[in-house]
C-alpha cells in the first residue's frame, strides 16, 4: 500500500529529538567546566580592558594605515584565540582591547608585535646578572647549570634539533646538557623544556614612555640609536663590551626596532642568559602556518611551524651547512629558544618548551596572523564594569517573556489545542537553544550580549511564523472538505516548502549581516541565524509529529478543541452540496 505523502511515524521523530536533547545536556553536564550558565558579554558582565599605545622609533605620529592594519591583525588574533565578544577600538594612536570576564592576560598577548626571526648564535651565551658589570670589565660568567634555582626563572634546558620523526618512530638522540652554558630546546620533533614565563606578557616588560600627542622625543630616538650602535655593532670587541654591559632587567629600547640585517646582543625571555646573535637567517614573515599541539614525545605543548617555499629552502640550506651549531628563535628581540642543529631541516619545525596549553596557543596565534606593523606599549589590565548591566539583561528578558506570553495567549485563543502544541514546541526549542549557547561558550568562546538576546526575541517570531504557516495551510485543507486526520499530511507537504523558503531567507539575511557587521551586531546576527536553523529542527521533529498525533486522537481531533470548528462546518457544507445537487437531479429524472 502506498504511503500518503506527508504521513509519518510521529514517535520516531519525537524519539530522535529527545535523543538530541539528551546528548546536548550530557555534553553540558560532563564536558568543560560543567557550568550550566552561558558566557555573558561585556555589556552584561563587564570585562578586562587593555590599552595599547603605538610607539614609533622617531616618536612621530604613527601612520593611520598602519594603525588600521594593526587593528585588523589584532581582531584576527582575537578570533584565533577564541576570545569571542571582544572589542578592538581605534582611539587616536591607541588600540583599546576589551574582553569579557577576567581574560586580561589574553588581551595583553594580543598586542604583541610577534616579529619572529631565526638568528645564528655567535660564541657562547653567558649568564645574566641582576646588575650589569662595567663596560670595560674583562671576562664573563657562565650560565647556571640546568635545573639550578635561579630565583623563580627557569633557565634554558638542554636539547638538540633533528628532523621530525614520521609516524610513531623512535625519538632522536638528545645531546647532554653542558653546565657551562645554557643548552637549547629541541626543534622539529624533539622535546625542549624552556620556560616561557614572560613571553606573552609584554605589559610586564617596561617600555619607554611614548611622547604625549605623538611629538618627536629626541631622548627616546637617541636611546634607540645608542643601543643600535653598541648592541648591533659589527665590531667583535664592541659586541663583547655590549654583552657584558647589557642589563636584562632594564627596559629594552630595541624591542621591535632591531635591524634584522645586523648582529644583535640580547637576552633570553627568562632574563637568565645573554647572547650574541648574527644577522637574521629566516624572517618570521616566511612562516606559512603555526599550530599549537600537545607534545607527543614529552610533557607540555609545542608550536609546529611550517614555512613558505623560500623560507623552507633558506632554513634547510642553513641547517645543512651549520650542523652542530646553535640557532636562536628570536621573538620581538628576545631569545625564545636556541637549539643545537643536528641535521638539515627542510620540513616542518617544532618549537617546544615549557609551554602550557594557553601559552602555546597564544604564541601560535600571534605568529599565525602575522607581526604587527607597529610596536605597542601595553597598559595594565583594568577591570571594567558592565556597560549595560544585569538590570538591562533582566529588562530584555522581561520584554521577551511578555512577548512570548502574548504569543501564547493568541495561539490558545485562535488555535486552541494547536496553540498548546505551539507553546510546547517553543519551550522545547528554548531548551535546545540554551544548551547550544552553553556549549558554544565553551568550545568557541561565544558570549551572549544584549544584542544576542534581541536576536533570540526576534527568532521567537520566526518560529511562531512557521507554526502559523503550517496551521493555516491545515485550515485550508479542512475548509476544502477534508477531515482533520487526512488534512495533516497534505497540509504539511504544502507548508514545509514555504517554511523552508522563509527560513532560508532569514538565515541568508543573518549570514550577510554577520559578515558585513562589526561589534555587537555580529552577536545579533549569529543568534538570529542559529535560532533560524534550530527552528527547522523543532518544526520538523516536534511540531509536525505532535500535530499528527493530535489528528489521530478523538479528543484532540474534536473541532471544538482543535480550533478548526468554523472551517470544519464550511468543509461539511461543501461536502454536502454535491450530494444534494446529485440527489435533486436524480429525483427529477424519476418524475420525468
For residue 1, being part of any structural domain is answered with no
- Which of 317, 338, 372 delimits the end of a domain? 372
For position 446, which CATH number holds? 1.20.1640.10
Q: Do 403 and 338 belong together in one domain? A: no
For position 159, which CATH number holds? 3.30.1360.200
Task: Give the Å distances, CA to CA, from 159 to 184, 327, 335.
Answer: 5, 12, 15
Q: Quick one: pLDDT at residue 206?
A: 33
For position 91, which CATH number holds? 3.30.70.3220
Q: Do 153 and 79 belong together in one domain? A: no
Which residue range forms the structural domain that includes residue 432?
Answer: 10-39+389-575
Bridge partners of 327, per DSSP, are: 120
Q: Do 96 and 241 belong together in one domain? A: no
For residue 379, being part of any structural domain is answered with no
Q: Quick one: pLDDT at residue 296?
A: 81
Q: Quick one: pLDDT at residue 509?
A: 92
Q: Which long-range contacts (CB under 8 A, 24 or more apart) does 257-262 make?
A: 257/57, 257/224, 257/228, 257/333, 257/375, 258/228, 258/232, 258/333, 259/228, 259/232, 260/117, 262/228, 262/232, 262/233, 262/234
Q: Do 347 and 461 belong together in one domain? A: no
Q: Quick one: pLDDT at residue 309?
A: 85
For residue 378, being part of any structural domain is answered with no
Q: Do 357 and 498 belong together in one domain? A: no
Q: Do 95 and 117 belong together in one domain? A: no
Q: Do 450 and 564 belong together in one domain? A: yes
Domain count, the chain: 3
Give the closest residue to 349 by CA, choosing from 300, 284, 279, 298: 284
- Which of 338, 372, 406 delimits the end of a domain? 372
For residue 540, being part of any structural domain is answered with yes
Q: 71 burial class (0-12, 13-18, 19+ CB within 10 angstroms)?
A: middle
**What residues have CB less than 8 Å from 154, skipping those under 6 apart?**
193, 194, 195, 197, 270, 272, 354
Q: Do 156 and 305 belong together in one domain? A: yes
The CA-CA-CA angle for residues 331, 332, 336, to 5°, reads 25
Which spans in 218-322 are helix H? 218-231, 236-245, 309-321
Q: Rounded CA gap, 2 and 508, in Å?
A: 37
Q: Do 89 and 121 belong together in one domain? A: no
Q: Do 467 and 560 belong together in one domain? A: yes
Q: Quick one: pLDDT at residue 512?
A: 92
Q: Do 281 and 313 belong together in one domain? A: yes
Q: Do 564 and 466 belong together in one domain? A: yes
- Which of 103, 121, 137 delimits the end of a domain? 103
For residue 524, being part of any structural domain is answered with yes
For residue 55, being part of any structural domain is answered with yes
Angle between helices 450-479 and 544-551 (to 10 degrees): 30
Q: Quick one: pLDDT at residue 52?
A: 81
**Cell, residue 155:** 633557565
For residue 19, being part of any structural domain is answered with yes
Angle between helices 10-30 and 520-538 (to 10 degrees): 140
Segment-wise mean pLDDT, segments of 10 residues, the chain, 592 residues = 62 92 92 80 73 73 80 72 66 79 62 77 83 40 34 35 35 29 35 28 33 50 85 91 89 81 89 91 83 82 84 88 87 80 79 74 71 70 65 75 84 82 87 90 79 83 85 86 85 91 92 81 87 90 89 75 70 66 50 39
Torsion of CA 337, 341, 346, 352, to 10 degrees: -30
For residue 377, being part of any structural domain is answered with no
**What residues have CB less than 8 Å from 103, skipping those under 6 apart?**
47, 48, 83
Q: Quick one: pLDDT at residue 500?
A: 92
C-alpha 123: how far from its chain's center? 42
Amino acid at each position: 500500500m502506498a504511503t500518503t505523502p506527508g504521513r509519518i511515524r510521529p514517535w520516531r521523530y519525537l524519539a530522535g529529538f529527545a535523543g538530541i536533547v539528551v546528548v546536548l545536556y550530557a555534553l553540558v553536564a560532563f564536558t568543560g567546566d560543567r557550568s550550566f550558565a552561558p558566557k555573558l558579554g561585556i555589556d552584561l558582565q563587564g570585562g578586562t580592558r587593555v590599552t595599547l599605545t603605538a610607539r614609533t622609533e622617531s616618536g612621530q605620529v604613527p601612520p593611520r594605515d598602519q594603525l588600521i592594519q594593526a587593528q585588523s591583525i589584532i581582531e584576527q588574533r582575537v578570533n584565533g584565540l577564541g576570545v569571542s565578544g571582544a572589542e578592538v577600538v581605534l582611539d587616536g594612536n591607541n588600540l583599546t582591547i576589551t574582553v569579557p570576564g577576567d581574560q586580561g592576560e589574553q588581551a595583553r598577548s594580543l598586542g604583541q608585535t610577534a616579529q619572529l626571526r631565526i638568528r645564528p648564535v655567535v660564541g657562547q651565551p653567558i649568564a645574566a646578572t641582576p646588575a650589569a658589570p662595567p663596560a670595560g670589565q674583562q671576562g664573563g660568567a657562565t650560565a647556571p647549570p640546568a635545573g639550578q634555582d635561579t630565583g623563580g626563572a627557569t633557565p634554558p634546558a638542554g636539547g638538540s634539533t633533528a628532523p621530525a620523526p614520521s609516524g610513531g618512530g623512535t625519538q632522536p638522540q638528545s645531546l647532554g646538557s653542558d653546565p657551562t652554558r645554557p643548552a637549547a630546546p629541541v626543534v622539529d620533533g624533539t622535546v625542549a623544556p624552556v620556560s616561557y614565563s614572560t613571553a606573552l606578557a609584554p605589559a610586564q616588560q617596561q617600555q619607554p614612555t611614548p611622547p604625549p600627542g605623538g611629538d618627536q622625543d629626541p631622548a627616546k630616538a637617541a636611546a634607540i640609536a645608542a643601543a643600535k650602535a653598541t648592541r648591533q655593532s659589527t665590531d667583535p670587541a664592541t659586541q663583547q663590551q655590549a654583552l657584558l654591559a647589557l642589563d636584562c632587567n632594564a627596559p629594552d629600547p630595541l624591542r621591535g626596532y632591531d635591524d634584522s640585517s645586523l648582529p644583535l646582543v640580547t637576552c633570553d625571555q627568562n632574563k637568565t642568559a645573554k647572547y650574541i646573535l648574527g644577522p637574521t637567517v629566516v624572517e618570521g614573515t616566511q612562516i606559512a602556518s603555526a599550530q599549537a599541539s600537545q607534545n607527543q614525545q614529552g610533557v607540555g605543548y609545542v608550536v609546529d611551524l611550517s614555512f613558505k617555499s623560500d623560507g623552507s629552502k633558506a632554513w634547510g640550506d642553513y641547517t645543512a651547512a651549520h650542523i652542530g651549531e646553535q640557532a636562536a628563535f628570536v621573538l620581538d628581540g628576545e631569545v625564545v629558544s636556541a637549539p643545537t642543529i643536528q641535521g638539515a631541516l627542510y620540513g616542518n619545525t617544532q618549537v617546544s618548551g615549557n609551554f602550557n596549553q594557553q601559552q602555546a596557543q597564544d604564541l601560535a596565534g600571534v605568529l599565525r596572523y602575522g607581526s604587527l606593523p607597529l610596536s605597542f606599549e601595553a597598559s595594565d589590565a583594568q577591570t571594567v564594569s558592565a556597560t549595560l548591566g544585569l538590570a538591562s539583561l533582566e529588562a530584555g528578558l522581561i520584554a521577551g517573556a511578555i512577548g512570548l506570553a502574548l504569543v501564547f495567549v493568541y495561539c490558545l485563543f485562535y488555535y486552541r489545542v494547536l496553540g498548546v502544541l505551539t507553546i510546547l514546541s517553543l519551550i522545547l526549542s528554548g531548551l535546545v537553544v540554551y544548551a547550544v549557547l552553553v556549549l558554544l561558550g565553551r568550545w568557541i568562546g561565544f558570549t551572549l550580549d544584549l544584542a544576542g538576546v534581541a536576536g533570540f526575541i526576534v527568532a521567537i517570531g520566526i518560529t511562531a511564523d512557521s507554526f502559523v504557516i503550517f496551521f493555516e495551510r491545515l485550515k485550508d485543507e479542512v475548509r476544502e472538505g477534508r477531515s482533520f486526520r487526512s488534512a495533516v499530511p497534505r497540509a504539511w507537504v504544502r507548508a514545509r516548502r514555504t517554511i523552508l523558503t522563509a527560513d532560508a531567507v532569514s538565515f541568508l539575511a543573518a549570514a550577510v549581516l554577520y559578515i558585513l557587521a562589526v561589534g555587537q551586531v555580529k552577536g545579533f546576527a549569529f543568534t538570529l541565524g542559529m535560532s533560524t536553523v534550530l527552528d527547522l529542527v523543532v518544526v520538523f521533529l516536534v511540531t509536525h509529529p505532535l500535530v499528527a498525533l493530535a489528528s489521530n486522537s478523538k479528543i484532540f481531533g474534536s473541532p471544538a478543541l482543535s480550533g478548526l470548528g468554523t472551517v470544519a462546518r464550511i468543509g461539511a457544507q461543501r461536502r454536502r452540496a454535491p450530494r444534494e445537487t446529485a440527489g435533486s437531479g436524480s429525483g427529477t429524472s424519476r418524475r420525468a
